[in-house]
Every structure is written in C-alpha cells, then in structure tokens.
Amino acid sequence: MNKILLTVLSVILLAVAGCDSEESELKGKTLGLSLHNPTVSKEEAENAEIKFTSNTPVLDFESANDVTLTLNGNTYSGEYSLEENNLSITVEDGDASMTIDFTEFEESEDEYFSYSGTVSEGELNEGDETTQLTNVYKNFGLGEYYLFLEE
C-alpha cells in the first residue's frame, strides 16, 4: 500500500513541477524596437547592420515572464505576457509603472526584423512624482507599428 501511495505522489509531483515551468518563445531574446520606415527599401533594410544605440528601446526577455527595458542609459524591470498575438509589457521605476500593449504581435519571416506589433494601449501611473518613466512612455504612440530587431 505504501509503495502505491508513494508512486502516486511521485507522479503528481512530477506533473505539478512540469506545469510550473512556463516556456515563452521570447525567453532569452534581446530585441530593440524601431518604428517602421516605409521609405526604406527591403534591400536597404536587409543590408543594414543593426546596432542598438542608447536611444533605442531595448527589451531583454530574461525568463518566461520577466523583462527589462533599457532606454537612454536607464533600466526598468518588470513583467510581460504573451498570449496569442498580444504582448503586454509592464515595467516599474519606484512608485511609477508603465504598461504598453502590442496587438498583432507576430514573428516575421523577414531577415531584417524578428517580430512586429502595433501599440494598442498604454498606461502610465506616475505615483507621487514624475520619473524618467514618463519620458519613456512618451516614446510609444498609440497605433504606431514597431519592428522588433535582434542585434
């Protein structure tokens, strides 16, 4: 009886442990955001060497739900969720927080960029005082189409 109970408990623990390890296709990726420029030809884009600068918003997807946003030398930690074609990113700076939602977030077959998405919603909670996060929030316009580039 004890062996059967022990076996059942072992199977249940393995099943629970397996459910806990969420995987994300973004895990481990570092992506820089760029606005789509329709005046750049496909050939020019494919031949361009991608270098992230300090004024490039860079998302580092550290785990299945942890993300870091770097912009202008400042780093903001937070969380993200990817459900179907919707990417939601929330980062914090002290009491302030910012959420940016991308719809139509899709992997690309294009050689120039890895993903693309459109900002569908944004929210800034400034807390008690204005922070650098306010300036970051102003970089994301509703309805803007972004390319997610890998360096």
Share of the chain above pLDDT 70, in %: 70
CB count in 10 Å sphere of residue 16: 9
Structure-model confidence comparison of residues 108 and 68, the more confident one: 68
Band (135; pLDDT cuts 50, 70, 90): confident
Band (77; pLDDT cuts 50, 70, 90): very high
Sign of CA dihedral 107, 101, 18, 21: positive
CB count in 10 Å sphere of residue 32: 21
CB count in 10 Å sphere of residue 19: 8
Half-sphere exposure for 102 (CA within 13 Å, toward CB): 23
Structure-token match 């060497």, residue found: 49
Per-domain boundaries in the chain: 22-149
Alpha carbon 89 to chain centroid, angstroms: 6
Structure-token match 């969720």, residue found: 81
Contacts of 55 (CB under 8 A, 6+ apart): 71, 72
Give the pLDDT of residue 69: 96
